[in-house]
Amino acid sequence: MKSIINLYWKCLRSSAVDLWNNLPILLGSILAYFGFLLVAQILLPFGLVGRFLLGFVYIFALTLYYGWLQEIQAGKRVKFKNLGRFDYSLFSGIISVAFLLFLLEWIVQPFGQDPNTRWVYLCVELMLFLLLNAIPEIVYIGRVESLTAIQKSAHFVQSYWIEWFLPLVLLLTPILVLWSENVLLALASADPLLPPLLLVQQLSLYFQVTLPGVGYLGSLIGVIIATWFMIFRAYLFDGLERRGTKL
């Protein structure tokens, strides 16, 4: 127990320092998020083709984001002039995993269209979110792709499920409590490729309901917290994977 508490404290301290020392990642993250929302408004009216193109835009943005996180994890500084640097090998790794997730989604989607089987769809989506929760770190830190990345994520989560999910539960609890009737739906709709995005979406929704007209403030706060949490996760992943720390 003492070892994991020490690890949490180290991750908390290091991630806060790294975020402060790499403020350009916040600007890049905010621009990427709101830029994606703008592109979504343009492409979604075009139906299936628009959603397909939007998927590539999302993966493009994830590639940039993962690249910034990788720079920090490697002990480097994220600079304004390097925010547009694109890692094609990282893009390949992300798209290989995203394609498999798309296939899984395509298989289970019919269950979500029938009210009688919707619970099956939600349970499968929730299981995928949990088992594949470590996908980001495995892809951009471990440089693992495709089915191997999915297998490694499932193995990692099964080995350290308490240690890994406790910080996420603490992070999301205040928001999910506010929307307690939709907890399962919210978790099932979360993206394994970027788990903290759920926080951004829920904060945005909360601000839209409680402070109409300034929902973007919720998104802004959410992006900042989510970026810090992704840095925190990188340290936690490294500590659990390399040192084998367990409760």
Mean pLDDT (whole number) for 96-125: 84
The confidence score (pLDDT) of residue 125 equals 85
Single pTM value for the model: 0.89
Q: What is the DSSP letter of 211?
A: S
Could you report the per-residue pLDDT of 197-244, keeping only the tens digit for each? 988 888 888 787 777 777 788 889 999 999 999 999 999 999 998 766
Q: For residues 208 and 161, what is the distance between their CA atoms, to the nearest angstrom? A: 33
The alpha carbon dihedral of 185, 158, 109, 204 has a sign of positive
- Single out the residue of 1, 71, 60 nearest to residue 32, CA to CA: 60
Q: Where are the alpha helices (DSSP H) in the chain?
A: 2-21, 24-43, 47-73, 88-113, 118-131, 135-140, 146-159, 161-178, 183-188, 197-210, 215-243
139 within 8 A of 66, measured Cβ to Cβ:
yes
pLDDT above 90: residue 24: yes
Structural domains in the chain (count): 1
Phi, psi of 213 (to 5 degrees): 95, -15
Q: How far apart are CA 115 and CA 25, in angstroms?
A: 42
Cα separation, 41 vs 23, whole angstroms: 28
Q: Which residues contact 181 (CB under 8 A, 6 or more apart)?
A: none
Domain extent at residue 233: 2-243
| pLDDT tens by residue, 114-156 | 778 878 888 888 888 899 999 999 999 988 888 999 999 999 9
